[in-house]
Chains A and B, each alone.
Chain A
Amino acid sequence: MIGIFKSMYITFATMLRKPVTIEYPAKHRDVPQRDRAFPILLWDKDVDEPFCTGCHACERACPVECMTVTMKDNPLHADGKSDRRKIVDEFWIDYGRCMRCNICVEVCNFEAIAMNNTWAGHELSTFDRNDLVLDLQQLLAQHKQGKIDEWVAE
């Protein structure tokens, strides 16, 4: 009998504790700075172009082949405004395939890609899975608008 009373005691003691949960869709807890949602591209505000040169390093290293990159000659380089001779032309990432392993961020030589560390990177439910394939403008949008304080490991 003692064992059962002990169990009851713990159960009632827990009833008096403060709740540890929060009501999720209404409230969001803070995500840590290193939070890894999905990869996004970063925008070079000084030159007004993406950091990405379309070098295919991330595409080759990706374990699940979720990226497609193409490269073009940089028009701003011809005008003398930019140091980058080549620049990214098109960039697609299929968020439905991505396994969030952070390897693309590690291999990038230009620090042009980072993991989204905001709640916007997590709440991505769509009705059509094709909406999860993001193009260059969508990938750049968040950092362009200054919504991301990115964290990249040294």
Chain B
Amino acid sequence: MVQERGPDTVDINVNMGPQHPSTHGVFRMVLTIDGERVIDVEPHIGYMHRGAEKLSENMDYRAAIGYQDRTDYLAQFLTEQAYCMAVEKLLELEVPERSEYIRVILCELNRVTSHLMFLGAFGIDLGYFGTSFTYGFRERERLQDIFEEVTGERMMYGYFRPGGLAWDVPDNFVQMIRDVLPHTRQGLKDLDMLMTQNEIVAARTKGIGAMNLEDSINWGLSGPMLRAAGSDWDLRKDKPYSIYDRFDYDIPVGSHGDVFDRYLVRLEEAYQSLRIVEQALDQLPDGPIMPEKMPRRLRGPDAEVYAAVEGPRGEYGIYIVSKGGDKAYRLKIRAPSFCNLAALRDMTVGNYVADAVAILGSIDIVLCDVDR
């Protein structure tokens, strides 16, 4: 007897996370699957919520710097930069030249460490096991040593201050970085050779999770996610802050907006960051690191300010409402990971379960940044 219809199938819910190695932290998604195809995704966030915004409202402008580090913990210097820029705007402080240069150097190196981390973890998501991860970490560690030499900490630097820097860099700062840069370039080349032309990687990433430019803009994506879709929006070029208008560098742009393009954009961005670092090292001036007329206690006027930096994950912004006094009345963090994660459902539905992992990896989320 010929069966007129196939066997009855039921869609099943598969719970992924919160303790799952490929969710990059404590992130839970409930996948509804039909066979191997994902037909619905329900993301659950909030497992890492610590109330970083509220905590920052309860302490003065200097003490709150430590809490900004703990939001995006792979790009700590950039979070500090955004926060300090917001406070400087509020208090109308002028940052000395030398401090600006040191900030740019550290921020760009931090972008490279963040992207090395992404390249490593992305390899794991695609099934490279530990190879790409150890390559990424090996080079990241050299840069991390520089940060430790300068600030004393390995992760939560707390080094930038509203107005400048906490203390000056060591005397061998420039030489130290110049020694490390060839290693970092080589490390990026290793990862490039390991993954870019590999046919297995191509099969896993090309055309997966593609999002066109219009949808990307509508979802409010920023950073490499948006640039992979074809826009060249970069705050460093389009709304120049700090001293980024003095350097010569390119903004890599993708065309398909798929997982592979996001990987390529990040890889190229790391190279461009190294270019900025080299130029900044050549131009690094001498001078003070804090403005001369620095108030002993930072007191803001009645005002609202917003300052944003181009983080490795996208636009990282800080919005401060001040009602006088030495604390922020309201502090809001515009977290790029959170905004980029919003598009997860649109990208994942219709793909295989294994691709869901690759797509999530390509967003490059930091869960502390998502939940704050």
Contact = CB atoms under 8 A, between A and B. Distances in A.
Interface of A: 1-4, 6-7, 9-11, 14, 20, 32, 34-36, 61-63, 99-103, 106, 115, 117, 153-154
Interface string B178-203: 00000000000010011111111110
Interface stretch (B152-160, B273-281, B306-314, B339-347): B152-160
B255 interface: no
B166 A106 contact: yes
Contact of A36 (B152, B190, B195): B152
Contacts of A7: 193-195, 198
Contacts of B199: 1, 3-4
Contact of B152 (A11, A14, A34, A154): A34
B302 interface: no
B36 interface: no
Contacts of B37: none
Interface of B: 59, 62-67, 131, 135, 138, 141, 148-153, 156, 158, 166-168, 170, 190, 193-202
B151 A6 contact: no
Contacts of A103: 62-63, 66, 158
A34 B150 CA distance: 7
A100 B153 contact: yes
A14 B190 CA distance: 9
B194 A11 contact: yes
Contacts of A36: 151-153
B152 A102 contact: yes
Given A3-B199, A101-B65, A102-B166, A117 B152 contact: yes
Nearest to A9: B193
B198 A6 contact: yes
Nearest to B151: A34
A32 B167 contact: no
Nearest to A153: B167
Contacts, number: 75
Contact of A35 (B66, B67, B131, B148): B148
18 contacts: A3-B201, A6-B198, A7-B193, A10-B190, A11-B194, A34-B148, A34-B151, A36-B151, A36-B152, A61-B62, A63-B66, A63-B67, A102-B158, A103-B66, A106-B166, A115-B152, A153-B166, A153-B167
Contacts of B200: 4
B152 A10 contact: no
A10 B151 contact: no
Contacts of A32: 148-149, 152
Question: In the complex, which of the residues A2, A63, A106, A115 has the most CB atoms of chain B within 10 Å of its own CB atom?
Answer: A63
Given A7-B198, A9-B193, A34-B152, 20 more contacts: A2-B197, A7-B194, A10-B190, A11-B131, A34-B148, A34-B149, A34-B150, A34-B151, A35-B152, A36-B152, A36-B153, A63-B63, A63-B64, A99-B156, A100-B156, A101-B65, A101-B66, A102-B158, A103-B62, A153-B166
A101 B158 contact: yes
A4 B194 CA distance: 8
Contacts of B168: 153
Contact of B193 (A10, A61, A102): A10
Contacts of B65: 101
A123 B62 CA distance: 28
Contacts of B66: 63, 99, 101, 103
B239 to A, nearest CB: 30
B63 A6 contact: no
Contacts of B190: 10, 14
Contacts of B153: 36, 100
B295 to A, nearest CB: 15
A14 B196 CA distance: 18
Question: In the complex, which of the residues B158, B196, B202 has the most CB atoms of chain A within 10 Å of its own CB atom?
Answer: B158
B197 to A, nearest CB: 4
